Amino acid sequence: MTENRPDSSAQDPWADIRPFNDDEVAGVLANLTQEPELLDALTRYRLPRLSRLMPGLSRRLASLALRRQVRGVQSIKQFQQRIAGYMERMIRTTTDEFTTAGLDRLDPATAYLFIGNHRDISLDPAFVNYALYLAGRNTVRIAIGDNLLKKPYVTDLMRLNKSFIVPRSARGKRAMLAAYQKLSGYMRHSITGDNHSIWMAQREGRAKDGIDGTDPAIIKMMTMSRRAEDRQASLGEAIRELRLVPVAISYEYDPCDVQKARELHAMHTLGKYEKGQYEDISSIVAGITGHKGRVKLTFGTPLGADFTAPDEVAAEIDRQVLEGYQLFPSHYLALETLGHAAELVDLGEITGADRERFETRLAQVPAELREWWLAQYANPVLNKAGRAPFTPGAAQNEPRSEAR
């Protein structure tokens, strides 16, 4: 039922990938309040028994509730202001503390391309947005892979929340190149034309093993537009124009840690992992509703023009992410439990309550997944120390000479 979608045109070359504009909001919301799949999803979550016994009635109730929630919303800003209330409630009920650092060093009137480590599908950019919102700054446009947008109503909701679409399903080298050229052009236009900040992950997919690393291919994509327009432009000039700022997000506990451990275990033992049809949506819900303990968000400093290769840019992003990453008791306790790199285990500020919380969570993890679960938390300690990561079932490497 989702209609009123913008069509691609010469006047709006990014119409099919960009977030919605304010003049499209009311029509999209009106369609969403009548979208059967969205209403069924809401009733299964909020009214599970009624949705089974009287699906028609539960759908009508959900439609009424949704129309009431979005009444008067005529712009993206108004839509996000409604979301802010839910974000505040989520932080209050699922986190013990949310802190930020580094944002005060960034010009509030300047757009930046925030590139961050990726642990949670929806919460990583949501916490960035919340930090900006609390500071009275404009929120970011969010890069989201089209693999997460299986349903039209999900696409609409994401684009209402200022998401733009990263192509991952295009087939063929030529199609992918064209899609990435368009994406690069949109991102550059957002930063240099609209003066509107962007958030995107440092690589495709979440870091499931606790190891954060930037994919140089992301850097190549970002700079395609500038270098296509000006073949004399250096990589460094293209990077400086985009005003890249690394962002590190640190969770004391990951609500999806068991699911990630299960995936890693399957890949190790079976050589493959079959993702369920709605697994990404389930991960989003689990991330939002699950307990996260303490969360720290650290903004780095803009990258300059002194880069000659994508690998150099990736290395600097990694350096700043590692520097800004906050280690919590869960990380040290995981390393201690593994009995690995004991000299890196710092128990100085760990309380009895910290240990009890950790042991309670660990006890709920199936035995065959425990080393994979522990590795997620232990690896950030090893990574910051420049050591090789811990991989269950593999011989551990000697300490590395540099962190990557």
Q: What is the pLDDT of residue 284?
A: 84
Strand partners, 141: 198
Q: Are 198 and 114 in contact (CB under 8 A)?
A: yes
Give dist(CA 88, CA 288) in Å, integer: 12
- Say which amino acid occupies 274: E
pLDDT at 83: 86
136 contacts 129 by C-beta, under 8 angstroms:
no
| Residues 292 and 251: beta-carbon distance below 8 Å | yes
> Token match 């079976």: residue?
270
Do residues 174 and 221 lie in contact, with contact meaning Cβ atoms separated by under 8 Å? no
Instruction: Decide which of 2.60.40, 3.40.1130, 3.40.50, 1.10.150 is the CATH code for 22-33+70-324.
Output: 3.40.1130
124, two tokens: 């990583």
Sheet (strand 293-299) strand order = 95-101, 293-299, 244-251, 113-116, 198-201, 141-145, 163-166
Q: Mapped to the 3 state alphabet, what secondary structure does 44-91 carry? A: HHHCHHHHHHCHHHHHHHHHHHHHHHCCCCCCHHHHHHHHHHHHHHHH
Tell which residue, 286, 287, 295, 372, has the closest CA to residue 328.
Answer: 295
Q: What is the pLDDT of residue 6?
A: 44
Question: What does the pLDDT read at residue 198?
Answer: 98
- Give the Å distances, CA to CA, from 1 to 14, 23, 112, 174: 23, 19, 36, 32
Element housing 141 (H / E)? strand 141-145
**β strands within 150-308, DSSP E:** 163-166, 198-201, 244-251, 293-299
List per-residue pLDDT tens for the chain, 404 residues long.
Answer: 444 444 444 588 999 999 999 999 999 999 999 998 888 878 877 788 887 889 889 889 989 999 998 999 999 999 998 888 888 999 999 999 999 999 999 999 999 999 999 999 889 999 999 999 999 999 999 999 988 887 888 899 999 999 999 988 778 889 999 999 999 999 999 999 999 999 999 999 899 999 999 999 999 999 999 989 998 999 999 999 999 999 999 999 999 999 999 999 999 999 988 877 667 777 888 888 899 999 999 999 999 999 999 999 999 999 999 999 999 999 999 999 999 999 999 999 999 999 999 999 999 999 999 999 999 999 999 999 999 999 997 755 444 433 33
Scan for tokens 């002194």, then name that residue: 306
Domain ranges of the chain: 22-33+70-324, 329-384
* Distance separating alpha carbons of residues 287 and 131, to the nearest angstrom: 18
What's at 401, amino acid-wise?
S
